[in-house]
Amino acid sequence: MTRFHNKVHAGKTSRELFVEAAVEAIESVDKGFELKDIDALYVGNFSSDVFEHQCHLAPLLADWLGLCPKPATRVESACASGGAALQVGVMAVASGLFDVVMVGGVEKMTNLPTEEVTDALAMASDNIYEASLGMTFPGIYAEMASAYFSKYGERYEWLASIAIKNHHNGKLNPKAHFQAEVLELANKFGEKRGMKFRDELEFLKSPLNFVVAYPLRLFDCCPISDGAAAVILTSAEKAKKWTDTPVYVEGVGQASDTMALHSREDLTSIRATVEAGKMAYRMAGIRPEDVDLALVHDCFTIAEIIATEDLGFFKRGEGGKAAEEGITAVDGAKPINTDGGLKAKGHPVGATGVGMVYEVWKQLRGEAGRRQVDDADKALIHNVGASGGTVIVQVYGR
């Protein structure tokens, strides 16, 4: 996996980013894995056609990696493109179609200014009822946040706790976009204006952390990032050839929902998350309380709160309280987004789901360094397309 960032990859194309991630994946295998061992390639990518004016991305990546003429397929499901590619890769191996596949994700977003990136991302919403009327995803998730506050009480500290925690975790992750605590960034911003903040909340409630779409502020939103990630999937039996410490895919789930928010009965829950979670838990033979850590799709801070409730980790209305009380910290009872999440690790859209698996691989092998969860045995990833039109949930074990 490359670092996710908006500047360190300046001048690189998605081809170069993907090759960097793929080579790292190959070289990380314990026992002499080679490129020729890969039978097929599946790549999650949302919109290289807009960001780079390049469609038909998969064979280009296969060519640059030296995989041609082996099958190469691009998978698109908005922000869940990486997770959807993982689903296809798992099915390809589980069905016996291929012995070994590489699954990756990549997005090069920073060729365009922020306004145009925002418009491009809005194409993943319902164009007739949302995007064409000026709605963007900050506004869509702000509607969810407003509905949540209306139902369970308005407490900005819940959202702030997510940002503070995920920036703390990002500081511990060398692959993260933001490798700094919220207070460090706050005082960096404030220094230019002769301001110094006593604590994170003072900054997060200040005008410097401006409102993007009420009640969401700047630090409630994930950044625009470039990056790529890649993993290698094979059968449990064949994995023994290359490693003594494999990570197993134990359960997978995928579900859909209406895209336009006005068609949903409840804006404080994403139905596709609930259903995909049930599928993954059932296949893995576990319950939510058996999950030792989870990587959930926190494109906005409210999204993490809703996800932790939809996945059954906390009761309805208590996800924000759990974060505020430290339950979701790395050393808490239910660690969430140990890598910094989308909020701090970054969100190169097509790479996000696969990047979650990279963190799971590190955690379950005991290689996550200062963000390591003690005795981690079961991990979950949760990858959301747009506002929940597509959701992938996968359970991993060691």
Catalytically active residues are: 79, 347
Measured between alpha carbons, how far is 308 from 313 in angstroms, rounded to an integer? 5
Q: Which of helix, strand or coil describes residue 203?
A: helix
What values do phi and psi take at 379, rounded to 5? -135, 155
Task: For residue 316, count CB atoms less than 10 angstroms from its CB and return exposed for 0-12, middle for 13-18, buried for 19 or more.
Answer: middle
Q: Is 7 left (phi over 0), alpha (psi -120 to 50) or beta?
A: alpha
- Residues whose CB falls within 8 Å of the CB of residue 95, separated by 6 or more in sequence, listed in order: none
Ranges of H-type helices in 99-155:
114-122, 137-152
* DSSP per-residue codes, 274-325: HHHHHHHHHHHT--GGG-SEEE---SBHHHHHHHHHHTTSS-TT-HHHHHHT
Laid out side by side, the sheet with 100-107 consists of 72-75, 40-44, 100-107, 227-234
Give the CA distances from residue 168 to residues 39, 172, 178, 338, 371, in Å, rounded to whole numbers and listed in that order: 39, 7, 9, 9, 10
Look up residue 263 and give its DSSP letter. G
The vertex-164 CA angle with 160 and 170, nearest 5°, equals: 140
Burial tier of 242 (Cβ tally within 10 Å: 0-12, 13-18, 19+):
middle
CA distance 313 to 331: 16
